[in-house]
Structure 1
Amino acid sequence: MPIDYQKLLNWDIPQVEQQLSTRDTILYALGVGLGADPVDPNQLQFVYEENLKALPTMAIILGYPGPWHAEPGTGVTRSHVVHGEQGFVIHKPLPVAGAIVGKTRVTAVLDKGRDKGALLLTACDVRDKASNELICSLTSTTFCRADGGFGGPSGPVQAPHPIPDAPAQLSCDLATLPQAALIYRLSGDYNPLHADPEYAKKAGFKMPILHGRATFSVVGHALVKTVCGYDPLRLKSMSGRFSSPVYPGETIRTEMWVAGKVVSFRATVPARGVTVLNNGRAEIA
Structure 2
Amino acid sequence: MSRYDELMAFRFPEIVQDYGARETILYALGVGAGDPPDDPWELRHVYEDGLMALPTMAVVLAYPGNWYRTLSPGLDDTLIVHASERFELHRPLPVAATLVATPRIVAIYDKGVGRGALVVSERVIADRSTGEALATVTQTAFCRGDGGLGGPVIAPPKPHHLPDRNPDTTVDMPTSSRSALIYRLSGDDNPLHVDPEFARAAGFPKPILHGLATYGHVGRAISKALRGDSSVSIKTMDCRFTAPVFPGDVLSISLWRDDNVVSFRAKVGERVVVDNGLATLA
Q: How far is the alpha carbon of 1:57 from its aligned partner? A: 0.2
Q: Which runs of 5+ in 1 are unaligned?
A: none
Provide the residue aligned with 1:49 in structure 2.
48
Amino acid paired to 1:128: D
Task: Check whether the contact 1:257–1:265 (CA below 8 A) recurs between aligned residues.
Answer: yes
Provide the residue aligned with 1:127 in structure 2.
126
Task: Check whether the contact 1:162–1:279 (CA below 8 A) recurs between aligned residues.
Answer: yes
Q: How far is the alpha carbon of 1:150 from its aligned partner? A: 2.5
* In structure 1, C-alpha distance between the alignment counterparts of 2:137 and 2:91, rounded to whole Å: 13
3-state SS of the aligned residue for 1:26? helix
Equivalences for residues 1-285 of structure 1 within 5 A: 4-71=3-70, 74-229=73-228, 234-270=233-269, 273-285=270-282
* Change in CA separation of 1:168 and 1:197 when aligned onto 2, cut-off 3 Å: same
3-state SS of the aligned residue for 2:173? strand
TM normalised by structure 2 equals 0.96
* Change in CA separation of 1:102 and 1:86 when aligned onto 2, cut-off 3 Å: same
Task: Check whether the contact 1:263–1:283 (CA below 8 A) recurs between aligned residues.
Answer: yes
* In structure 2, C-alpha distance between the alignment counterparts of 1:4 and 1:279, rounded to whole Å: 30
1:125-159 per-residue CA deviation (whole Å, 9 max, x = no partner) reads 00011111010111110000111122222314111
**Could you list the runs of 4 or more consecutive aligned residues of structure 1 that deviate by over 4 angstroms after TM superposition?**
230-233
3-state SS of the aligned residue for 1:198? helix
3-state SS of the aligned residue for 1:199? helix
Task: Check whether the contact 1:56–1:233 (CA below 8 A) recurs between aligned residues.
Answer: no
* In structure 2, C-alpha distance between the alignment counterparts of 1:247 and 1:72, rounded to whole Å: 27
3-state SS of the aligned residue for 1:54? coil
Q: How far is the alpha carbon of 1:71 from its aligned partner? A: 4.9
1:175-211 per-residue CA deviation (whole Å, 9 max, x = no partner) reads 0000100100000000000000000000000100000
RMSD: 1.6
Task: Check whether the contact 2:119–2:141 (CA below 8 A) recurs between aligned residues.
Answer: yes
Task: Check whether the contact 1:93–1:233 (CA below 8 A) recurs between aligned residues.
Answer: no
TM normalised by structure 1 equals 0.95
Q: Which runs of 5+ in 2 are unaligned?
A: none
3-state SS of the aligned residue for 1:167? coil
Identity of aligned residues (%): 44
Task: Check whether the contact 1:77–1:144 (CA below 8 A) recurs between aligned residues.
Answer: yes
